Amino acid sequence: MSKERDLKDIVARRIEFFKRKPEAAIYKPKVSSKHIEQLYTETKVREHVVLSDYGEAAGGTNKAPNPIELLLSAFGACVEAAFYEFAVHEGYQIDSLSVEVEGTLDLRGLFMIDDIAAGFQDIRYVFHISSPEPEDKIRALAEKVVAHCPVVDSLSKPTKISGEIVITSR
C-alpha cells in the first residue's frame, strides 16, 4: 500500500472516529524546555529535541532559530502538512508545496520600552502549490485548510494562557 493511500485511510478513519466520539478528538500536546546556556534552549517534544537560540547580534550563538522564528516555522509547517493530508484525502495530486511566512515585531515590546505589545503586529504568508488539479478546487481547499490550521487559529484569536511561577531558593 502506498504512503498516500495509508494517509488517505488514516484521515478518513480519524474523521469518522471523531464524528462518533468527539471527546476523543481532544489533544493536549506537551513540551518541556530547558535552558542550556546563554540564550540557547532545548525543548523535548515527544522523542524529539527542538533547539532554539538567538543570532549573535542579539546575544546568542546562532546555533538554532529563535523562538519567534520557530513560531513562524510552525505556521508554515502546519499549513503545508494539513493541506497535503487533506489533498491526499480528496484524491488530489500535489507536485510540490512551500510556504513563505514573515511577521513584523516591534522589539520595544520585548525590551519593555513604552507600552508596545511584544507580539506580532502582523503575519503574512505566500502558499505555493503546484498541482495539475483544477485551480478552483486547489484554492478552495487551501483556503479551507488555512482557516482550520490550529497554529493559524491560535495566532489569530485570543487564547487563554495560565500558569504558575515556581522559584526554588538555594
| DSSP H or E run through 70 | helix 67-90
Question: Would you say 144 and 90 are in contact if contact means Cβ atoms under 8 Å apart?
Answer: no
**Residue 144 domain flag:** yes
Residue 144 pLDDT greater than 60, yes or no: yes
- Mean pLDDT throughout 151-166? 94
pLDDT of residue 106: 95
Please state, for a pLDDT cut of 90, what percent of the chain lies above it: 96
Condensed to tens digits (0 to 9), the pLDDT of residues 80-138 reads 999 999 999 999 999 999 999 999 999 999 999 999 999 999 999 999 999 999 999 99
Cα distances from 15 to residues 11, 20, 64, 86, in angstroms, run 6, 9, 36, 11
pLDDT of residue 3: 72
**Residue 125 domain flag:** yes
Residue 170 pLDDT greater than 90, yes or no: no
Question: Would you say 41 and 33 are in contact if contact means Cβ atoms under 8 Å apart?
Answer: yes
- Mean pLDDT throughout 139-156? 96
**CATH code for position 146:** 3.30.300.20
**Residue 140 domain flag:** yes
- Mean pLDDT throughout 54-64? 95
**Residue 12 domain flag:** no
Domain of residue 151, residue span: 66-159
**Residue 31 domain flag:** no
Residue 4 pLDDT greater than 80, yes or no: no
Q: Which three cell numbers stand for residue 152?
A: 493559524
pLDDT of residue 96: 97
**Residue 39 domain flag:** no
Question: Would you say 92 and 150 are in contact if contact means Cβ atoms under 8 Å apart?
Answer: no
pTM of the model as a whole: 0.90
Confidence of residue 1 (pLDDT cuts 50, 70, 90): low
Rounded CA-CA distance 148/83 in Å is 10
Residue 20 pLDDT greater than 90, yes or no: yes
Q: How many domains does the chain have?
A: 1
